[in-house]
Amino acid sequence: MKGKCNICGKEYTQSGMSRHLKSCLEKHYDKIIAEDKSQKSLYYHIYVKGTHRSDYWLQLQVKEDAKSSDLDKFLRDIWLECCNHLSEFEINEQRFTSSGINMSKKIKDVLSEKIKFHIPMILVLILN
């Protein structure tokens, strides 16, 4: 199953997208920064795929100062939410729930390079 790059509009397979994004992000960096009205931010490259259906996948660019709740809301809105379930995941032995205090933590304070964590039905890998 192919996915579409939101930067250039071309379609790639899962493995092809990882290779493509590296060059596409570098090529379009100035345009991306110009569209971002806030200060220059660092971003995390996050790879998300289904644990039972690996043909479902996303690759995301998330600002380092985004909150864990922002990532949670995005994933629930685009993929997970169907029956008003509460979110829950664990990163480095810290538990995150929709109603928990940890959801207010910034991504940069929670994630690190090459870390893996699970959200029910999803495997998440931080690539950068």
Kindly report whether the global pTM for this prediction surpasses the value 0.75: no
Task: List % helix, strand, coil for the chain (3-state, nearest 5).
Answer: 35, 30, 40
**pLDDT digit string, tens, across residues 43-67:** 888 888 877 777 888 888 888 889 8
Stretches where the chain sits below pLDDT 70 are 32-41, 80-88, 98-101, 117-128
Alpha carbon distance 58, 3 (integer Å): 8
**DSSP characters for 35-60?**
H--SS---EEEEEEEESS-TT-EEEE
